[in-house]
Amino acid sequence: METACAIALGSNLGDSEQTIETTLARLDQIDGMRVGARSRLYKTAPVGPPQPDYINACAIVQTTLSPAQMLQVLLAIEASFGRIRRERWGPRTLDLDLLLYGDRVIDTPTLTLPHPRMHERAFVLVPLAEIAPDWQHPVSQRTVAELLRQVDPSGVYPLVA
């Protein structure tokens, strides 16, 4: 049975736009995954140490994979783009976060769903609200649109190519 998942994509090293486009195409080619709605690309000021601006997006993926399998796929794709986890909130070639997996709530040492900080992050909520404004957060019971109204979206701009 397929489950809808929300994924956040971000990059601020290399050709970030191309990295995100390639990642979405790659996700769509994986058995048991199908990319559905996807947001526009957004330019976002970084959080953390001084670094280039980010390019962010969100996508809805229909999948037959389990949450743990989804996480492994995302980590493998990050690694294939040279992602090395050095410092918290540091620059990265590719960052993929599994935000939501249907209405599942999971808390294990390796995976927390829904993503524990998604409700605080305009760079996640702005693109996610574009494609899934009515998706209800399974813990707070608020929609993505409601969560977005509780954060400051300044600093998150649609990328004009």
Output phi, psi for 146, to 5 deg: -65, -40
C-alpha to C-alpha distance for 45 and 42, rounded to whole angstroms? 10
Tell me if residue 92 is catalytic: yes
Which of 28, 83, 103, 142 is an active site residue?
83
Beta bridge partners of 60: 6
Tell me if residue 83 is catalytic: yes
> Which letter does DSSP use for residue 135 in this model?
P
C-alpha to C-alpha distance for 68 and 158, rounded to whole angstroms? 31
Q: Are residues 129 and 144 in contact, defined by beta-carbon separation less than 8 angstroms?
A: yes
* Residue 99 CB contacts under 8 Å (≥ 6 apart), including other chains: 5, 6, 7, 8, 58, 113, 114, 115, 118, 124, 128
Which of 92, 107, 142, 149 is an active site residue?
92
Which amino acid does the sequence have at 142? R
Residues with a catalytic annotation lie at: 83, 92, 95, 97
